[in-house]
Amino acid sequence: MKMQSAWEIAEGVRKGSISAVEIVEEFFERIEKHDKEIRAFITVSKDSAIQQAKEIEKKRREKKLGRLAGVPIAVKDNICTRGIETTCASKILKGYIPPYDATAVRMLKEEGAVIIGKTNLDEFGMGSSTEFSAFFATKNPRNLNHVPGGSSGGSAAAVAKGLSAVALGTDTGGSIRCPSAFCGVVGVKPTYGLVSRYGLIAYANTLEQIGPIANNVIDAALLLSCIAGHDPHDSTSIGENKDYTKFNSSAKKLKIGVPRQYFGEGTQKAVSDAVWRAIKKLEGEGAEVEEIDLKSVGYALASYYIIAMSEASSNLARYDGLRYGFQDSSGARDWSTLFSKDRKAGFGFEVKKRIMLGTFALSAGYFDAYYLKAQKVRNLIIQDFQRAFKKFDVLMGPTMPTTAFKLGEKTVDPLAMYMSDCDTVPANLAGIPAASIPCGSSNGLPIGLQIMATPFEEGKMLNVAKTLEDILGVYAE
């Protein structure tokens, strides 16, 4: 099946060779046909999508079409969409209809994108396999016995299967890159501050960003161009509005650093082989490649989980069932009991565990040993990256140490699940941009190569990604 790319759809709709309504209907047909087995979507918003598509048709006559005119887009279900149920894959938000659009969603709508539905995730983004969704697990479209990765598993699976042209994901510790690697698509975690977090339902504020998931680098760059930029609603947003779709594909003189720590003992041989093969091809095109040490990266995982859980314990306090969301109806006699019952029934076990650990790490007696310590280690990691980027344009390594694992393989051992994030979390701690692009496969399961760059150098990073994609081709089964 030859998939139409997002930029081709937008161009066609603008020129009038493609009807926005027809293309949207085509995608809904595919969803109806395939989503029964993939289960990428929590909510499908067909009526409002068709309505949106009709309005785009109207606007075409007035020649006022945006850069994503008529492009069907799936939005991860932890990003607020006004009037469309947004659940974070949690029982506690079942039925929640946001009274506002996330800034990224508003920007996409302004560019003519059509929201076709909300995609599955690990509850509140807490997981790496999309198995911790309170509703159902999403399956990897490349092999239904395997996980799609997470937490943006629904978005990556939808794009990989062609149920949506592009998708928005969110990345707190790898949640865009991990499923992109596992499903064989392109995923970009932007620099912290480039894309507004307004309307992204917080898991860990200082780590996360909204970013694109696409079938090819141009689509990812186009989507990123449409959502990047400063937002007065987000005090930490400082991004500029830039066009990332102007590529200059050349690897000449490109300085690539390859940190040894990204090829640790848990890394599958097939993965490191595929990644190295790709890097060697760039070297063949004139890039300069050097292996380096990023020692502090070995501490990233612990630092990451302490910070993420601590922030989460506070962020998720608001779900008490009073103003919105699930409320227990057994007649609690006082507010404290009611809150405790709402949260007992509303949260899944993994979420409870992270809230409990975060509550612990912020407690008066343990704050210094955990939260403060983790933030100091984070500073060391930032400094390590800064040193490396003095010498290199980009750093490269595997996105994930393995290919997609089997459904159920890691759900019983929380630490094993956490460990699979070892290569993605450093970029979140350092706040740098990172992308995953397909670079091969093993036993029919895709392998992702990770490219990291210095803050706000998404242009450079995507240029390298495009060069690599030109060499390797988009992922094909």
Interaction residues for another protein, span 369-388 (CB under 8 A): 369-380, 382
5 catalytically annotated: no
Distance of alpha carbon 390 from alpha carbon 392, whole angstroms:
6
Q: Which two tokens stand for residue 437?
A: 């692009």
Stretch that binds another protein, among 174-182, 329-337, 400-408, 441-449 (CB under 8 A): 329-337
Among residues 93, 126, 183, 452, the one that binds another protein under rule CB under 8 A = 93
129 catalytically annotated: no
Smallest gap from residue 470 Cβ to another protein (A): 32
Q: Where are the alpha helices (DSSP H) in 64-211?
A: 103-110, 153-160, 177-183
Q: What is the DSSP string of 381-406?
A: HHHHHHHHHHH-SEEEEESSSSSPPB
Q: What is the DSSP letter of 308?
A: H
Stretch that binds another protein, among 9-17, 271-279, 286-294, 427-435 (CB under 8 A): 427-435
Distance of alpha carbon 356 from alpha carbon 22, whole angstroms:
49
| Residue number, 345 or 471, with CB nearest to another protein | 345
Distance of alpha carbon 129 from alpha carbon 401, whole angstroms:
14
The yes or no reply on residue 349 touching another protein (CB under 8 A) is yes
Q: What is the DSSP letter of 296?
A: G
Mapping DSSP to helix (H, G, I), strand (E, B) and coil, where does residue 359 land? helix
The yes or no reply on residue 336 touching another protein (CB under 8 A) is yes
Which residues, other chains included, contact 262 with Cβ-Cβ below 8 Å and sequence gap of 6+? 294, 297, 397, 398, 423, 450
Among residues 50, 57, 100, 441, the one that binds another protein under rule CB under 8 A = 100
Smallest gap from residue 360 Cβ to another protein (A): 6
CA 79: distance to chain centroid? 11
Site for another protein in 19-58 (CB under 8 A): none
330 catalytically annotated: no
| Residue number, 219 or 231, with CB nearest to another protein | 231
- Least Cα distance to 450 among 178, 76, 173, 152 occurs for 178
Among residues 275, 362, 394, 396, the one that binds another protein under rule CB under 8 A = 362
- Least Cα distance to 400 among 146, 176, 219 occurs for 176
The answer to whether 189 touches 169, Cβ cutoff 8 Å, is: no
Site for another protein in 283-322 (CB under 8 A): 296, 299, 302-303, 305-306, 310-311, 313-314, 317-322
| Residue number, 315 or 463, with CB nearest to another protein | 315
The yes or no reply on residue 360 touching another protein (CB under 8 A) is yes
Among 45, 90, 152, 175, the active-site one is 175
| Entry field: residues in the chain | 477
- Least Cα distance to 448 among 255, 168, 177, 256 occurs for 177
Parallel, antiparallel, or unpaired for β 288-292 and 209-214? unpaired
| Residue number, 250 or 314, with CB nearest to another protein | 314
Among 5, 19, 45, 76, the active-site one is 76
State the Cα torsion 44-50-52-57 to the nearest 10°.
150
Stretch that binds another protein, among 13-21, 98-106, 272-280, 440-448 (CB under 8 A): 98-106
> How many residues form the binding site for another protein (CB under 8 A)?
94
Stretch that binds another protein, among 156-164, 258-266, 286-294, 362-370 (CB under 8 A): 362-370
Site for another protein in 228-257 (CB under 8 A): 232-236, 238
| Residue number, 206 or 250, with CB nearest to another protein | 206
- Active-site residues: which are they? 76, 151, 175
